[in-house]
Amino acid sequence: MFKVNEDYLKLPGSYLFSTIGKKVNAFAKENPDKKIIRLGIGDVTQPLAPVIIDALHKAVAEMGVAETFHGYAPDLGYEFLRNAIAENDYKLRGCDISPDEIFVSDGAKCDSGNIQEIFAKDNKIAVCDPVYPVYVDTNVMAGRAGEYDPKTETWSNVIYMPCTAENDFAPELPKEVPDIIYLCFPNNPTGSTITKPQLQEWVDYANKHGSVIIYDAAYEAYISEDNVPHSIYECEGARTCAIELHSFSKNAGFTGVRLGYTVVPKDLKAGDVMLHSLWARRHGTKYNGAPYIQQRAGEAVYSPEGKKQLAEQVAYYMKNAAYIKEGLKSAGYTVSGGVNAPYIWLKAPNGMTSWEFFDYLLEKANVVGTPGSGFGPSGETYFRLTAFGTYENTVEAIERIKKL
């Protein structure tokens, strides 16, 4: 008789955003007259930039002609895209990453979920608290997280690094040494970030203790301040301790297009074993390459015109972020984030829990946000709003909240 993966059954409830979706759908059904504004899930609302649309149409046309048709893509991605990434995201920033250390995929969520697979089951992970749920959940599903304690809402075998107002939402180096450290800056959900010297401390720590850092740089396009690193490879020694995840979802609006990439430097080894070889093996065996059409769209992101149009798109969302932040501040909320990230992190008012505030906001203002506690116990009483709405909706949502 077949048996199921018992580790899956340990997961409490469903994926955070599925839960929110169900709650919102139920509310919408009961209140068909109410105009709900969604500033919850980090999904973009602006259409793809013209330069991306042109690249997509061109690639589609190629697929309709025998001479330019493309079948299976190379496992790790087309060279034209890997070269563009290496040049623009690394070489121009002074980072030493070669095209064959770049693995193109269908998105950073998949990669951030799958990457744990190349590590031993008895490795211990450390995560920021609050944190993007995928890091922890995928380790639970792999049997690496231990047991869940519903009282503390933590897993017995996970090292939590609290990020709260007290430490300016920046994690401290853990006393117990983890094998794998997940870091995400600019941070989802808090919108905070750290400076290059601060990140260098993490790289030094990882190299000293033999930890590996999984660095999620999904939001680097939103960095507006000079001293904030765009890549962990700006730090000395990162090639021997860090994997970096990238998304095209937020810088280019590809949430529904699906494209991302992961960097695994060849210097990153456990004994003689290159993690690069293991990730290549995973790609070759369990993945079949990102679509040609999408990879051409990714290439267009790095064209001069693409950079210009996407900078405008990022500026559009950051205008929303500023509006949310200032509006909530003026209404007396305690707010952070929103300067180098499209997320605004606020304290629920009047001693409300995160979910109480979620319900309150949904019912009274018909605005959807994300409860901070959904990202981890230290997120309790906090709440996340995203800047990815339209400007008009963002303004209306904030005006509604101000009137509460």
Scan residues 169-208 and list those touching its own copies (CB under 8 A): 179-180
Q: Is 43 in the site for its own copies (CB under 8 A)?
A: yes
Q: Does 127 bind its own copies (CB under 8 A)?
A: no
Give the nearest distance from C-beta 166 to its own copies in angstroms.
29
Binding flag, residue 220, its own copies (CB under 8 A): no
For position 390 contacting its own copies by CB under 8 A, the verdict is yes
376 lies in the site for its own copies, by CB under 8 A: no
Q: What are phi and psi of 274, to 5 degrees?
A: -80, 130
Binding mask 60-99 for its own copies (x = CB under 8 A): xx-xxxx--xxxxx-x------------------------
Asked if residue 343 lies in contact with residue 191, where contact means CB atoms within 8 angstroms, the answer is: yes
CB of residue 164 to its own copies, shortest distance in Å: 26
One residue of 30, 33, 122, 166 binding its own copies per CB under 8 A: 122
Judged by CB, which is closer to its own copies: 312, or 326?
312
Question: Is 118 an interacting residue with respect to its own copies (CB under 8 A)?
Answer: yes
Count of residues that interact with its own copies, criterion CB under 8 A? 83
Q: Is 404 in the site for its own copies (CB under 8 A)?
A: no
Show contacts with its own copies in window 271-300 (CB under 8 A). 273, 275, 278, 281-282, 284-294
Determine if 10 is a binding residue for its own copies (CB under 8 A): no
Tell me whether the omega of the peptide bond preceding residue 130 falls within 30 degrees of 0, making it cis.
yes
Query: Minimal distance in Å, beta carbon 211 to its own copies?
Result: 6
Binding mask 332-371 for its own copies (x = CB under 8 A): ----------------------------------------
Confirm if 337 and 245 have CB atoms less than 8 A apart. no
Position among 48, 84, 238, 300 found at the interface with its own copies (CB under 8 A): 48
- Tell which one of 34, 121, 329, 364 touches its own copies (CB under 8 A): 121
Q: What is the dihedral of CA 153, 156, 161, 162, to 10 degrees?
A: 20
With CB under 8 A as the contact rule, the residue among 32, 256, 332, 351 that binds its own copies is 256
What stretches of 323-403 adopt beta strand conformation (E)? 335-337, 343-347, 367-368, 370-371, 382-386
> CB 256 → its own copies: shortest distance, Å?
4
Peptide bond into 99 cis (omega under 30): no
287-314: buried (b, 16+ CB within 10 Å) or exposed (e) per residue? bebbbbbbbbbbbbbbbeebeebbeebb
Instruction: Give the whole-angstrom CA distance, residue 216 versus residue 244.
Output: 6
Does an H or E element contain 109, and which?
helix 108-114
Nearest to 199 by CA among 215, 210, 211: 215
Tell me which residue has tokens 């401390």: 201
Of 152, 157, 184, nearest to 169 by C-alpha is 184
Q: Are 383 and 339 in contact (CB under 8 A)?
A: no
- Of the two residues 165 and 273, which places its CB atom closer to its own copies in the complex? 273
For residue 136, the tally of other CB atoms under 10 A from its CB is 23
DSSP for 238-280 reads GGGTEEEEEESTTTS--TTT--EEEE--TT-EETTEEHHHHHH
Q: Convert residues 129-168 into a mask of x (bound to its own copies by CB under 8 A) and - (unbound).
A: ----xx--xx--x---------------------------
Q: Which is nearer to its own copies, 10 or 347 (CB)?
A: 10
Residue placing its CB nearer to its own copies in the complex, 74 or 197: 74
Q: Is 36 in the site for its own copies (CB under 8 A)?
A: no
